[in-house]
Amino acid sequence: MPVYRHLLMGRIASFFFLGCLVTVVSVALPVKARASSILAAIHETLGFGQSGLSSGDVAQQIVSLSYGSQIPNGPGGLPFLVPAFPPSSPCLGCGPAPSGFTGTTDYTPANTAEFNDLTSRLTNGIDEVLQLSDLFYPSLFGGALLTLESSRFDLQGDTIDFIRRVIFSNTLTIENVLGVQETLTNVDVSWEIWGASQVPEPGTLILLSIGLVSLGMMRRLTPSGRRAGAEPLRSAAPDRRGTALESAG
């Protein structure tokens, strides 16, 4: 019995030591802010031509990301993708800007009212129709690229921090084609979806390693953890003369 009492006290001490060690390490480790990275990106060149437009029709431009719809059984029994003009809500980039604009715009929950609605649809696991639009304003003449989410990415369950629109080039030209004035537009645009990478923090891995090592050490202290062929545990009891006698445990 003294031996098992000693082992029990050893295990209790090991648990206490493990708890203290984990607490000290967790306090000592700095809290690492999670860094955003690109979860997905759609890079496309959008272009179209339209005749009969005046300068007032093409004064401003919309380059947006929104949702279209689909008819499950379209022509030939195949799904038929349907654009929404004007782009339906939720929509990013639906505010008009001067035609031919370029540059980078970050859409966040703080600066875009419809951000959370759009990102919740991107991450809900339902395969919907994305619509990338290039439209003139106020005429709303233009075009759109339609694509299923499943053909581009899988963001189910991810957390999106912000969405970045990068317009690399944006040209607007007016040409005379067979005696007809034709307005041509060509936009090279990328929509980048940024969020946190789903990997354990270094602190979590360190704490897990400490726990596994400590559990391994504790197992070595238990009787069941003895190697095969080891001598049985013995206890020592003094005789009346104070001499220690060995007796089998």
**φ, ψ dihedrals at 143, nearest 5°:** -150, 175
3-state secondary structure 55-68: CCCCCEEEEEEEEC
Could you read off the pLDDT of 146-204 as tens digits, one per residue?
999 999 999 998 999 999 999 999 998 888 878 788 888 999 999 999 997 555 555 54
What is d(CA 232, CA 248) in angstroms, rounded to the nearest whole number? 8
Cβ atoms of residues 92 and 112 within 8 Å? yes
Domain extent listing, the chain: 1-32+201-222, 36-196
Q: Exposure of 236 by Cβ count < 10 A (0-12 exposed, 13-18 middle, 19+ buried)?
A: exposed
pTM of the model: 0.67
pLDDT digits 0-9 by tens, 68-104: 999 887 777 777 999 998 999 999 999 999 999 999 9
Beta carbons within 8 Å of 3's beta carbon, 6+ residues apart: 233, 234, 235, 249
Selection from 48, 56, 168, 182 nearest residue 101 by Cα: 168
